[in-house]
Amino acid sequence: SQQGEEDPQALSIQEGENATMNCSYKTSINNLQWYRQNSGRGLVHLILIRSNEREKHSGRLRVTLDTSKKSSSLLITASRAADTASYFCVGGGSNYKLTFGKGTLLTVNP
């Protein structure tokens, strides 16, 4: 797999604002996945975008993928306090192993 590097490392916003997190990777991928981790819990798979897709939506989530720039972004619209968590991106490749980076810690203040 391709470890993603998330940016920024930490993001603090007010409830109702949009949150944008970015991800970069270094080699070719088959898909790009985003996960969320609430403090002290397991990761939750949010969304997967395939390498031939440019944009994907799921509820309040919007993911973009630019394979020419080897980058992706995750937009959370109308954020809620419950969105407070760490967010990870990871590239899925020809094998099934996933290597995670340090993530972005999002804090949504009520």
Q: Applying CB under 8 A, which residues contact other proteins?
A: 30-31, 33, 35, 40-45, 48, 50, 92, 96-103
CA 72 to CA 74: how far, in whole Å?
A: 7
Residue 45 or 69 having the CB closest to other proteins: 45
Residue 75 or 98 having the CB closest to other proteins: 98
Q: How far is the CB of 108 from other proteins (least distance, A)?
A: 22
Torsional sign, CA 89, 24, 91, 22: positive
Residue 15 or 86 having the CB closest to other proteins: 86
Q: How far is the CB of 17 from other proteins (least distance, A)?
A: 27
Class of residue 15 by CB neighbours under 10 A (exposed 0-12, middle 13-18, buried 19+): middle
Tallying the residues shown for the chain, one arrives at 110
